[in-house]
């Protein structure tokens, strides 16, 4: 089985403007996703706002420089992730299709295979 990272992106302003009821509906959607995905989910979390992010950037001195905020300024922000196990990309896509964010126009999900590293 391969491992995949499901990265959930969306417009932070829309997430922050959700009513309590809308937030509960999204939470219920994630509960359904987790229940349907079962033991294929290895990990997953929602992330705090990009205003809490700190990025490290390399520079010519060889010492990274920390900056406030996300690595890139974009319209869509990374809002959460799941690590899943699936036999192949098609199965990972089928899992990701159950995420509630894909029922709205302001969100998207990126699926990335996780590189297998052997331990010494």
> Predicted confidence band at 62 (pLDDT cuts at 50, 70, 90)?
confident
> Predicted confidence band at 71 (pLDDT cuts at 50, 70, 90)?
low
Q: According to the model, what pLDDT value does residue 70 have?
A: 66
Q: According to the model, what pLDDT value does residue 22 have?
A: 94
Mean pLDDT across the stretch 7-30? 93
Lowest average pLDDT, out of 14-28, 52-66, 101-115, goes to: 52-66
Strands (E), 1-120: 2-10, 41-46, 54-57, 65-68, 77-86, 107-113
Q: Give the residue, 75 or 77, on which the prediction is more confident.
A: 77
Q: According to the model, what pLDDT value does residue 50 have?
A: 86
List domains and CATH numbers for the chain.
2-113 (3.30.70.1060)
* Nearest in space to 69 (alpha carbons), one of 12, 6, 8: 12
Instruction: Measure the CA–CA gap between 88 and 67, rounded to whole angstroms.
Output: 37
Mean pLDDT across the stretch 93-103? 93
Does the structure show a pLDDT above 70 at 89?
yes
Instruction: Measure the CA–CA gap between 51 and 64, rounded to whole angstroms.
Output: 20
Q: According to the model, what pLDDT value does residue 55 have?
A: 83
């Amino acid at each position: 089985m391969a491992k995949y990272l499901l990265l959930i992106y969306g417009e932070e302003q829309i997430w922050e403007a959700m009513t309590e009821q809308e937030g509960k509906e999204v939470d219920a959607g994630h509960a359904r996703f987790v229940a349907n995905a079962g033991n294929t989910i290895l990990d997953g979390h929602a992330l705090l706002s990009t205003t809490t992010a700190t990025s490290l950037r390399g520079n010519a001195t060889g010492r990274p420089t920390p900056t406030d905020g996300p690595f890139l300024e974009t319209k869509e922000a990374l809002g959460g992730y799941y690590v899943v196990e699936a036999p192949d990309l098609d199965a990972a896509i089928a899992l990701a299709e159950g995420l509630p964010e894909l029922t709205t126009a302001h969100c998207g999900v990126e699926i990335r295979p996780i590189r297998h590293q052997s331990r010494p």
